[in-house]
Amino acid sequence: MKRSSRRSRDRAASELFAALYPRLAGWCRRLVDDDETAHEVASEAFTRLWARWTSVEEPRGFLYVTAANLVRDHWRKLERERRAVRRVTVEAAIRPHAEPADPSVRLLVQSLPERLRVPILLHYYADMPIREVSVLTGRKEGTVKADLHAARELLRDHLRRSLDHTR
């Protein structure tokens, strides 16, 4: 009995995929204006449907609502990227002849271990908030804060030692 009901469900899922995937992917294509992204969105919608197959009463509606949410997320991501590019472009235009950083500080930052160097570069040089650094590095915010603190301490100690030697 279980085997036949599973086969029946699998058949229904295959038929649903064959019937709806092309139309869903086409709809997504019109929204995102990119074939690859449209297929990724449609595939992800079906993947999420399969994960909830037994609890979804209206699969077609579920697919379109899920795809719409994924398209919205895609649009938000594009807008964040556009804002970042605009911000960098505006900053470059405003400060085209900015003073270069003290080469010794730059060299000190470059000499930091990668674990400490990456958060310093993202937070202080790319002006990213700690939350964003956390997401980009895959580390918890507390870890990023601790790494920033450790890096600042190393830089401070090295600068103190080099100043003491110049006197």
Over residues 10-32, the pLDDT tens digits come to: 898 899 999 999 999 999 999 99
Average pLDDT over residues 88-101: 62
pLDDT at 119: 85
Q: Is residue 126 over pLDDT 80?
A: no
- Whose tokens are 């009463």? That residue is 57
pLDDT at 102: 55
Q: Is residue 96 over pLDDT 60?
A: no
Residue 5 pLDDT grade (very low, low, confident, very high; cuts 50, 70, 90)? confident
